[in-house]
Amino acid sequence: DQQVKQNSPSLSVQEGRISILNCDYTNSMFDYFLWYKKYPAEGPTFLISISSIKDKNEDGRFTVFLNKSAKHLSLHIVPSQPGDSAVYFCAASEGAGNKLTFGGGTRVLVKP
Amino acid sequence: SAVISQKPSRDICQRGTSLTIQCQVDSQVTMMFWYRQQPGQSLTLIATANQGSEATYESGFVIDKFPISRPNLTFSTLTVSNMSPEDSSIYLCSAKGTRFPLNYGYTFGSGTRLTVV
């Protein structure tokens, strides 16, 4: 039973345009959500998080939106840069500081 | 310098043998976790490493196969025992603390790429 799903395995976007990555979850107890970026041969790097008391969090080029009623979150990257090409994972937990459940990942390719 | 150091970074092991992976954090942390990423898959939590007590294992993972130690607040080891080719994966250590940057999301080590032949 996949509690966190990323239905798009890959995404291709032109440099300078917006990248939108989506994530759905089924566990209503999840209240803390995170996005990670992963390059090959490296560990995941934390990008941005959001708690369930908010519906939006922004950090530079990265914005995460949370729709609790739909159990859906998205990550917007604006503008996309070639260095953003990586695999992006969304993750969720029941409270900050508890174990994370990861989605399957979305591979993003930003074309120059 | 790395916040979390993981050793070895990669290894090729014979089936039936065991490998111990070390995870060193450069400051005290409250939580440490071990994950596995099988080829082409997402990250799956193996266990939560508890300081001074037995690790808490997720469904499908057992202590005899993946013994974990956490003797203090900065160090943990994961052993992959009696390895088979199905254990070929990337193993990742993760930590969360109360001081920046470890309080900002969960920090991961660079991983150990294990190949069992």
Helices (H) and strands (E) counted in chain A, each on its own, are 0, 11
Residues 6+ apart with CB under 8 A from A40: none
Calculate the alpha carbon distances from B37 to A40, B78, B89 in Å.
12, 14, 6
Residue B55 structure tokens: 């690790």
* Residue B102 predicted with pLDDT over 70: no
Query: How close, in Å, is residue B107 to chain A by CA atoms?
Result: 7
Query: Is some CB atom of chain A closer than 8 A to the CB atom of B33?
Result: yes
Bridge partners (DSSP) listed for residue B78: B21, B68
The pLDDT tens digits for B77-97 are 999 999 999 999 999 999 987
Separation between Cα atoms, residue B107 and residue A81, nearest integer Å: 23
Residues in chain A with pLDDT values less than 70: none
Mutate to test the interface with A, among B32, B42, B44 (most CBs of A within 10 A): B42
The pLDDT tens digits for A87-109 are 999 999 998 778 899 999 999 99
pLDDT tier for residue B2 given thresholds of 50, 70 and 90: low
Mutate to test the interface with A, among B43, B48, B102 (most CBs of A within 10 A): B43
Query: How close, in Å, is residue B103 to chain A by CA atoms?
Result: 9
In chain A, which residues have their Cβ closer than 8 Å to the Cβ of B105? 34, 36, 46-47, 49
CA atoms within 13 A on the CB side of B23: 32
The pLDDT tens digits for B29-78 are 888 999 999 988 899 999 999 988 899 999 999 999 999 999 999 999 99
In chain A, which residues have their Cβ closer than 8 Å to the Cβ of B4? 43
In chain A, which residues have their Cβ closer than 8 Å to the Cβ of B110? 41-43
Per-residue confidence (pLDDT) for residue B30, from 0 to 100: 85
pLDDT tier for residue B3 given thresholds of 50, 70 and 90: confident
Query: Is some CB atom of chain A closer than 8 A to the CB atom of B105?
Result: yes
Contact: A104, B4; criterion CB under 8 Å: no
